Structure 1
Amino acid sequence: MLRLPLFRHPAGAGPVLRILAMLLLVLSLFMLIPLALLALEGDGQMWPFLWAFAVTFGTGVVFILLTWGVHIELRPRQMFILTTSSWVVMSAFSSLPMQFGAPRLSVADAVFESVSAITTTGATVLVGIEHLSDGLKLWRGLMQWVGGVGIIVMAIAVLPFLRVGGMRLFQTESSDWSDKVLPRAGTVAKAIGLVYVGFTIVSIVSYWLAGMLPLDAFVHGMTSVATGGFANYDASFGQYADQPVILWLSVLSMLTGALPFVLYIRMARERSGVLWKDQQVRGLLALLVVVIALLTLYRAVRGMEFFDALTQVAFNVVSVVTTTGYATDDYTAWGPLSAAAFFYLTFVGGCSGSTSGGMKVFRFQVGLIMLVNQLRYLVHANGVFVQRYNGRVLTDDQIRGVIAFSFFFFFTVAVLALGLSLMGLDFVTALSGAATAVANVGPGLGEIIGPAGNFAPLPDAAKWMLSIGMLMGRLEILTVLVLLTPTFWRK
């Protein structure tokens, strides 16, 4: 057995590297899918994927050999390292097909695009997407789809164990975190994988029956359920702006991805109304209904036909709230109220345990519960008030987690916006760019990175900063920040 001395250390990197090796091998197999498509089409642009496969597969094999015989048993410290390093490594190697196949892209561009894909952000630096090879179009969709399932597993099986941002609220009753984490994660991944694949197939077939071309249906089906937002056209879903059936099918697909996947599993087993009983699901749907109603009336009184207004508003609101990032129109041009509303909606996000980014609905609900209780304390100083969420008593640990996450979320947005301003970006572009990156939404505001633009004109330094912001947002910020503390690295 080949071992390195480092791996014999109790806090060694052996288990982490071994799992990273497995992830790279799986990623390399996904690279064979667009390669097979290009081979069937007789397209000569196969070499980028061949080189990317060789590098990714080769690196995975080397890591496997270096960690041969290493027993995989992760401790909390290693879980933090693995969670962050896995997203960084997957993003880096996912960029290889674009680095090899799109020579016009800088390294910053390719990495930005892959980070945006893996984190399901949906921001893009590509211009002329229609003219990309079918292989690259498919690869962009596959990256978001793979990132989507990784996000769900992380949110359900990893973050509650790490006590990140109040996620302990969503630890399932059957979880026994005194035992090993990986068997639990594996069980969750299998169940979620079946549901995820099923919803994706339904979305793909629905798009195809509604009139999309086969490749478009396949890519958009994956990126809708993953709430990713990558489309096969520069105009995003503006390509289908005059096809309301496709837009409403997309609304359903995006909502499917934004709800807690663990509840789908419970529904299949218990056949009960657990989805509607969940407090965050009701909160998300109520928010969507109110905002869609208000903005539909806002557009209707300004002269737009009611059904068209409803369709356009519903699609774009659901897209932003679920952090998908599709757009049918430049909604910032609908009026001042619309621009302000979409900026605030950028922060919300979907439900915990879904593919959505953002702060998540439950944190706003917990914040509201704390606010109401604080007002009660001011009126009844000697009163005893129990704070509950989803029928469970909120613990001090959970409340501290929500407060800490919320603070660091907005702090990260503020610091990133300041950094982007130093790169020469105007205030609207810098602030909305920081917000959309950390919230993993996609489009920002303004002429440059708004729904009608993209991130290509930004300097490379800004793209690197935004890439870091996307990764931090997807990893719930605290998971990354804890690695920067000296205490974490002490024995």
Structure 2
Amino acid sequence: MSSALAGPVTNAPRTGQLRPVAYLVGQVLLATAAMMVFPLIIDVVQHNPDWQAFAVAAGLSSAVGGLLSWWGRGTVASGLTLRQAFLLTPVSWFSVCAVSALPFYFARYGIVAGSAADAFFEAASGITTTGATVLSGLEQAPPGMLLWRALLQWMGGIGIIATAIAILPALGIGGMQLFRTESSDRSEKVMPRVRQIAWAITGVYVGLTALAAVVYWLAGMIPFDAVAHALSSVATGGFSTSDGSFGTWEANGIQWFATLFMLSGSIPFVLYVRLIAGDRSAVWDRQVRTLLIFLAIVIGLLGSYLTITGRYPLEPAFRHAAFNVVSVVTTTGFATTDYTLWGNVVIGLFFGLTFIGGCTGSTSGGIKIFRFEVMAVMLRTHFLRLIYPRGVFPRSYGARQLDDEVVNSVVAFFAVFFLCYAALTISLMALDLDFITSASGAATALANVGPGLGNTIGPAGNFASLPAAAKWLLGVAMLLGRLELFTVLVLFIPRFWRG
């Protein structure tokens, strides 16, 4: 998986060393421009003038992508060095976010039109599969705009799977090196070549999306809504075509189906490939097992609480509990109702769930289940050593021993995550936002969840009324959280550039 990173660690990136990065960024921008053709065509067919916004954006993205690809052509055959990989990850994601914001900026619809802060926020929320939005009146929005939002999340979903499998383990980000050998070894037994694995994962991703679209259509959505929600569900994104999100559709079990598709996106996609290839041990993956047990406990408790307190009858209570808990834990961000009206204890519960996240190698954001598992192993070992100072207690994760490098990386990730969270919360409060809005907004941005808490950015609101500076901060925070923090923060260390 990390063959692209083969090669010595060089000194600071020079002009020649930047060419492979430029080539790959150029290719990504060309692919982004190609995706803009779909909403462009829909707007042309619907006689909506916003097709011009997509045409201009696609032209600019193609021009920049073409120049970068031409300048860096023929330079990636030998792979990337470590510094080039660190540089490629944030530069490519920020570049895609920038060009993806152009249709929102040039469009004639919505408050994002002509607002750089709104356009950047909406694009960052889409490409990072966060699902926070500044738009309202979605039922009257042009179809091209709605499709572009869904496509952004779908592209971001497959993009983060590729990043989590091929790049982050090789860089040793936040304990992801734990999956370097595991991902490569297990995957290679299924398919001997990295390219085959990539195509297999893409096939699973497309297949799940198509299945979701068909199920939503059969359950009562019109074809366009079904496709848009399928793109967002499997990507664990959260953009909807209705201000009421999934609360607009209740019949025929559609919310139960959506719960399953959100959950499907939070499972490592390598496991699907292994399962299809006949490796039944993939079903018992430790991350997936822990995630499912955790969700079952929380849903059971919340569903019982909603039933006992008389807020809903039995089936609606567990349906709303399952949908909204899975939505927040998998960092999707859909909602069936305003769960902040269920009481303070539920508000506190959902605030805590915001940080969890799904499995690594999935489309989910958040801290990720495996890091909580590693921390639990570390705490257990620490307490045992307090009781038995001379005892020897090996640290293991499944069948693997946890070495100091993995443990230190996980501890560092937790520390940096909550330092960034505190800094972002304080920065938002400095912009005269209240504590609930600031604290939940910072959490939902860094964890890529979507809705926050409170009357302003809660499940029944949006981020439109926030000041422009807050939108810029939250947009950057979404990218920072999506890229696992360190790939961005390392660029601010002078030694990275000096060598």
Instruction: Give the TM-score band, short-chain normalised.
Output: over 0.9
1:360 aligned residue (346, 365, 368): 368
The corresponding residue for 1:437 is: 445
The answer to whether the Cα contact below 8 Å between 1:348 and 1:360 also exists between their aligned partners in 2 is yes
The reply to whether residue 254 of structure 1 matches residue 242 of structure 2 is no
Query: Superposed, which structure 2 residues align to 1:152-231 within 5 Å?
Result: 152-173=161-182, 175=184, 186-231=195-240
Query: Superposed, which structure 2 residues align to 1:69-468 within 5 Å?
Result: 69-72=74-77, 73-102=79-108, 104-105=111-112, 106-173=115-182, 175=184, 186-240=195-249, 242-243=250-251, 245-275=253-283, 277-303=284-310, 304-468=312-476
- Distance in 2, matches of 1:184 and 1:55, equals 35
The corresponding residue for 1:4 is: none
Q: Give structure 2 stretches of 5+ with no counterpart.
A: 1-11, 186-191
The answer to whether the Cα contact below 8 Å between 2:447 and 2:481 also exists between their aligned partners in 1 is yes
- Distance in 1, matches of 2:356 and 2:183, equals 29
The reply to whether residue 26 of structure 1 matches residue 31 of structure 2 is yes
- Distance in 2, matches of 1:59 and 1:46, equals 20
- Distance in 1, matches of 2:198 and 2:347, equals 38
- Distance in 1, matches of 2:332 and 2:323, equals 10
Identical pairs, percent: 49
Which amino acid in structure 2 is aligned with residue 74 of structure 1? L
- Distance in 2, matches of 1:8 and 1:258, equals 35
Alpha-carbon offset, residue 288 of structure 1: 0.5
The corresponding residue for 1:3 is: none
The answer to whether the Cα contact below 8 Å between 1:444 and 1:450 also exists between their aligned partners in 2 is yes
Alpha-carbon offset, residue 267 of structure 1: 0.8
Q: How many residue pairs end up in the alignment?
A: 477
Alpha-carbon offset, residue 487 of structure 1: 1.6
The corresponding residue for 1:179 is: none
The corresponding residue for 2:5 is: none
- Distance in 2, matches of 1:61 and 1:10, equals 18
Q: Give structure 1 stretches of 5+ with no counterpart.
A: 1-6, 177-182
SS of structure 1 residue aligned to 2:277: helix
- Distance in 2, matches of 1:407 and 1:8, equals 28
Which amino acid in structure 2 is aligned with residue 239 of structure 1? T
Which amino acid in structure 1 is aligned with residue 476 of structure 2? I
The answer to whether the Cα contact below 8 Å between 1:324 and 1:441 also exists between their aligned partners in 2 is yes
SS of structure 1 residue aligned to 2:17: coil
The corresponding residue for 1:472 is: 480
Alpha-carbon offset, residue 174 of structure 1: 7.0
1:16 aligned residue (13, 21, 24): 21
Alpha-carbon offset, residue 141 of structure 1: 0.3
- Distance in 2, matches of 1:437 and 1:9, equals 33
SS of structure 2 residue aligned to 1:12: helix
The answer to whether the Cα contact below 8 Å between 1:91 and 1:111 also exists between their aligned partners in 2 is yes
Which amino acid in structure 2 is aligned with residue 412 of structure 1? C
The corresponding residue for 1:48 is: 53
Alpha-carbon offset, residue 192 of structure 1: 1.2
- Distance in 1, matches of 2:279 and 2:363, equals 23
CA deviations 1:255-301 (Å, max 9, x no partner) are: 000011111111111341412x2111111111111111111111111
Alpha-carbon offset, residue 9 of structure 1: 4.2
Which amino acid in structure 2 is aligned with residue 19 of structure 1? L
The reply to whether residue 61 of structure 1 matches residue 66 of structure 2 is yes
- Distance in 2, matches of 1:423 and 1:377, equals 46
Alpha-carbon offset, residue 10 of structure 1: 7.5
CA deviations 1:407-455 (Å, max 9, x no partner) are: 1111111100000000000001000000000000000000000001000
The answer to whether the Cα contact below 8 Å between 1:254 and 1:319 also exists between their aligned partners in 2 is yes
Alpha-carbon offset, residue 173 of structure 1: 4.5
CA deviations 1:157-185 (Å, max 9, x no partner) are: 11000000000111245749xxxxxx976
Distance 1:174 1:441, change over 3 A: closer
- Distance in 2, matches of 1:258 and 1:141, equals 17
Which amino acid in structure 2 is aligned with residue 291 of structure 1? V
The answer to whether the Cα contact below 8 Å between 1:236 and 1:327 also exists between their aligned partners in 2 is yes
SS of structure 1 residue aligned to 2:134: coil
Alpha-carbon offset, residue 38 of structure 1: 2.4
Distance 1:185 1:274, change over 3 A: closer
Which amino acid in structure 2 is aligned with residue 331 of structure 1? Y
- Distance in 2, matches of 1:114 and 1:477, equals 19
Of the structure 1 ranges 27-36 and 109-118, higher mean CA displacement relative to structure 2 is found in: 27-36
CA deviations 1:326-357 (Å, max 9, x no partner) are: 01111011011111100000000000110000
Distance 1:174 1:318, change over 3 A: closer
The answer to whether the Cα contact below 8 Å between 1:175 and 1:184 also exists between their aligned partners in 2 is no
- Distance in 1, matches of 2:327 and 2:141, equals 24
- Distance in 2, matches of 1:77 and 1:175, equals 22
Alpha-carbon offset, residue 131 of structure 1: 1.4
Aligned residues: CA RMSD: 1.7
Which amino acid in structure 1 is aligned with residue 322 of structure 2? A
> TM-score scaled to structure 1, two decimals?
0.94
The answer to whether the Cα contact below 8 Å between 2:20 and 2:73 also exists between their aligned partners in 1 is no
SS of structure 2 residue aligned to 1:171: helix
> TM-score scaled to structure 2, two decimals?
0.93
- Distance in 2, matches of 1:187 and 1:90, equals 25
The answer to whether the Cα contact below 8 Å between 1:260 and 1:354 also exists between their aligned partners in 2 is yes
Alpha-carbon offset, residue 116 of structure 1: 0.3
- Distance in 2, matches of 1:45 and 1:432, equals 33
The answer to whether the Cα contact below 8 Å between 1:164 and 1:476 also exists between their aligned partners in 2 is yes
Alpha-carbon offset, residue 366 of structure 1: 0.7
SS of structure 2 residue aligned to 1:55: helix
Of the structure 1 ranges 75-84 and 266-275, higher mean CA displacement relative to structure 2 is found in: 266-275
The corresponding residue for 1:488 is: 496
Distance 1:204 1:174, change over 3 A: closer
